[in-house]
Structure 1
């Protein structure tokens, strides 16, 4: 089968008709599968709309053409659906996970996350993955019978485990949580509605995760070029992009730099998608899972880059870290953004009366613990857009950085 052909539904795909259900029972939809319903709920959520004004790398007022969390999520969804279609997976569940993966990010991108993590250090820290789980299970208030979005078990599993198991075979925390432990928001919810944290997630979740990597690599190159942080020819330092730039030059010898960059981004996305599809087929052929549980219990990820492409992708990330994320202009703005988040957190701790009424304790006559108050303030700030965070800072402080 060629990469360009859609595959028939696979035996190891998640089947919406065999979903493990929802935490709160609901009548099934007459017109949509459970996973399609999940996806629609994410799209219509308040948190999803707020992604429009949340930073990817550049703050919202630096230009209309740079990625935001919303446009990034849409691009991840497009790549994820393309991969899912080739592998015969459930596209609706894949799209749900792609669109939901950044719902927990605070304002100002990773700078905002670092600041909130520091502010909440004594109270378990801040983790955007755990915050996404909070958003979809408690912080959205749109339905009369439950808080959150009441997503299917498969969607919640994919949100929490898209980067792999959270618990190692020996019982300790795995991966990114090995040193700091699994966030309380995840462990507490897991006690209510076990998500099998020691196993891998579905292929749909694994696809959404690698689509995130592909989107980051390609589109941060695009934004970096647009911002003038580097030029197309600077990317010749890496063998993979050097070959692509050479091919583009032969095909279009008189192309201007803007179109050269756009063509490079397209070539890179297509190349990485193709590489993932071919590698996934090889891994699946060797593993021969006969169900989604076979995928979960395989013991290793079945979606990934081939070894040589994985190295090339690592090289791209290293280039972007040096030339974009650590660029003096970006670092200066993000440093100021971190301070804004710290200022807001400290102010609300000292003067909780300045919080909106809906974010005050439900029973104001009853004392709450320091951790409960800190987490409530953290949840409020995490939901802010860049624009609202700046407006709040201007309201509460005499001087606010311009972030330009």
Structure 2
């Protein structure tokens, strides 16, 4: 008989770092899942997202999305998805019990919203070029430095750096204690934590599309967090994939977290492009209005086009298109989630919800993707900030990792004093993996402006105030 996950065991108030005999939070008003949301939104790691690039350079004369505003909007869409799916699950399983009904009717929306809030919390400065810069630095090491790493790190530990992944880093930030005595990091519930891990596998088993498993597209946890994720998987009844050391089926809620992000960035990046004059209202209408041609009811094509004509301001027109398109996608992807419930619970769905849309919609999405890639993501100032970020992060890694690898040099001691106390550097080759992680933790947690400022200071470009 094929194994399957169960809706009734996929949620738990147990938190990372909890003792085995810890009693669950009995507060029925400010529940465990609401507390997760609050802990994330009040955290310094989340607050720093306000100065991390989403797509367009920051700051500018026109306010565009940064990682923080993007995350807030994804959380809003995630809440809607969680609400709609939760009610449908509760309605389908009316005899499942009071706790089951209360969670799916009222709490799932909060869980997905909290997961969406933190989905980018592990991203380094300067967007995806920050991830690329970290990967490139470690992949390009040679000679003595490379030998030190190969002699002292396992294959998976080395791959954590060569295939550095913001998703894995988010899980680390939320669960790792760093230099604090209390274990469990932010002490979030296992439910919320599992809902952000899009690729539940290690670095050495991930980044392998040939497996056909969506879990292995990238990676979801570093070597240092294997035990943490394993405990979560066991508690929630997540399925482990046969033939692998640490590859799991996605937690079903991940599909909703992913869907919220997939919906938002496709329309919001173009909304920013319109405000910056990179694209036109006419182009956005051309890309998104065809989605409504087969729709009936309040959002049919005729009604949408008529309402657009009644709006005067072009920016307001784009905002209207954004709002109704998000609503359409929430409805479509909710229906697809329930339609593929059996495959999701069996751990057999190897596509995102967005990829399950009918062919006509997928063709329209591909047109959006191609236009965005050509005219938005390759817009010259975007490419310039990515290149600058690549050089800045690469230079910082060279300085600080060089200090870790050669602590005997005079400059090394001074550089290591600059690293925040929460990222300890220990003596001894046996601590090399931890020390390199501390450097990467320090740099990946920087805002764009802080990274630029530190780069200028340690390279001697800016020595004012000394």
Partner of 1:291: none
Alignment equivalent of 2:257, drawn from 204, 208, 218: 208
Alignment TM-score, normalising by the size of structure 1: 0.80
Whether 1:128 and 2:128 are equivalent positions in the alignment is no
Question: 2:213, 2:252 → 1: CA distance?
Answer: 19
- 1-structure distance, mates of 2:420, 2:69: 31
Q: Does 1:333 align with 2:385?
A: yes
Residue number in structure 1 paired with 2:307: 251
| CA 1:277–1:180: 2 relative to 1, 3 Å | closer
For 1:117, which of 129, 135, 140 is the aligned residue?
135
The alignment status of 1:157 with 2:220, answered yes or no, reads no
SS at match of 2:253: helix
Moved more, 235-244 or 25-34: 235-244
Residue 98 of structure 1: aligned partner: 116
CA distance, structure 2, for counterparts of residue 279 and residue 243 of structure 1: 18
Q: 2:7 — aligned with what? A: 12
- Mean Cα deviation higher: 214-223 or 25-34: 25-34
Please state if 1:29 is matched with 2:7.
no
CA distance in 2, matches of 1:181, 1:206: 14
Tell me by how many angstroms 1:314 deviates.
Answer: 3.3
Alignment of 1:44-59 (within 5 A): 44-59=42-57
Name the CA distance, whole Å, in 2 between partners of 1:181 and 1:23. Answer: 19
Q: Which moved more, 1:355-364 or 1:58-67?
A: 355-364
Aligned with 1:148 (options 168, 171, 185): 185
d(CA) in 1 for partners of 2:32, 2:386: 40
| In 2, Cα distance between equivalents of 1:140 and 1:279 | 40
Give distance in 1, aligned partners of 2:218 and 2:48.
Answer: 31
Match of 1:61 in 2: 59
1:342 aligned partner: 394
Structure exhibiting the larger radius of gyration computed from Cα positions:
2
Aligned CA distance change for structure 1 residues 191 and 249 (closer, same or farther; 3 Å): closer
SS of residue in 1 equivalent to 2:25:
coil
Q: 1:275 to 1:164 in 2, by over 3 A?
A: farther
Structure 1 pair 19/388, CA: closer, same or farther in 2 (3 Å)?
same
CA distance in 2, matches of 1:174, 1:237: 35
* 8 Å contact from structure 1 (residues 133, 156) kept in 2: yes
Q: 1:304 aligns with which of 346, 353, 360?
A: 353
Indicate if the aligned counterparts of 2:52 and 2:66 stay in contact, CA closer than 8 A. Answer: yes
Q: Which residue of the partner structure matches residue 244 of structure 2? A: none
CA contact (8 A) 2:57 2:382 kept: no
1:150 alignment partner, SS class: coil
SS in 1 for 2:53: coil
Counterpart residue number, 1:263: 320
The structure 2 residue matched to 1:80, chosen from 78, 81, 89, is: 78
- Once residues 230 and 69 of structure 2 are traced to their aligned partners in structure 1, the CA distance between those partners, rounded to angstroms, is 34
Instruction: Tell me the residue number matched to 1:6.
Output: none
Give the CA deviation at 1:134.
0.9
Shift of 1:302: 9.2
User: Within 1, Cα distance between the matches of 2:232 and 2:256?
Assistant: 24
**How many Å separate the matches in 2 of 1:185 and 1:49?**
25
- Shift in alpha-carbon separation, 1:34–1:201, aligned structure 2, 3 A: farther
Q: 1:360 to 1:40 in 2, by over 3 A?
A: closer
Structure-2 separation of matches of 1:233 and 1:267: 17
Instruction: Give, in angstroms, the shift of residue 310 of structure 1.
Output: 3.6
- Would you say 1:272 and 2:329 are equivalent positions? yes
State the alpha-carbon separation in 2 of the partners of residues 33 and 358 from structure 1.
33
- Secondary structure of the equivalent of 2:278? coil
Q: Quick one: structure 1 residues 363 and 334, their matched pair in 2 at CA, closer, same or farther if it must change by over 3 Å?
A: closer
- Report how far residue 153 of structure 1 moved: 2.2
Matched, 1:382 2:377: no
Q: For residues 113 and 422 of structure 2, what CA distance do their matches in structure 1 show?
A: 31
Q: How far is the alpha carbon of 1:185 from its aligned partner?
A: 4.6
Which moves more between the two structures, 233-242 or 312-321? 233-242
CA distance in 2 between partners of 1:303 and 1:178 (Å): 12
Question: Which residues of structure 2 form unaligned runs of 5+?
Answer: 1-5, 87-103, 142-157, 242-247, 294-300, 404-411
Following superposition, the deviation at residue 299 of structure 1 comes to: 1.7
Deviation (angstroms), 1:295: 4.5
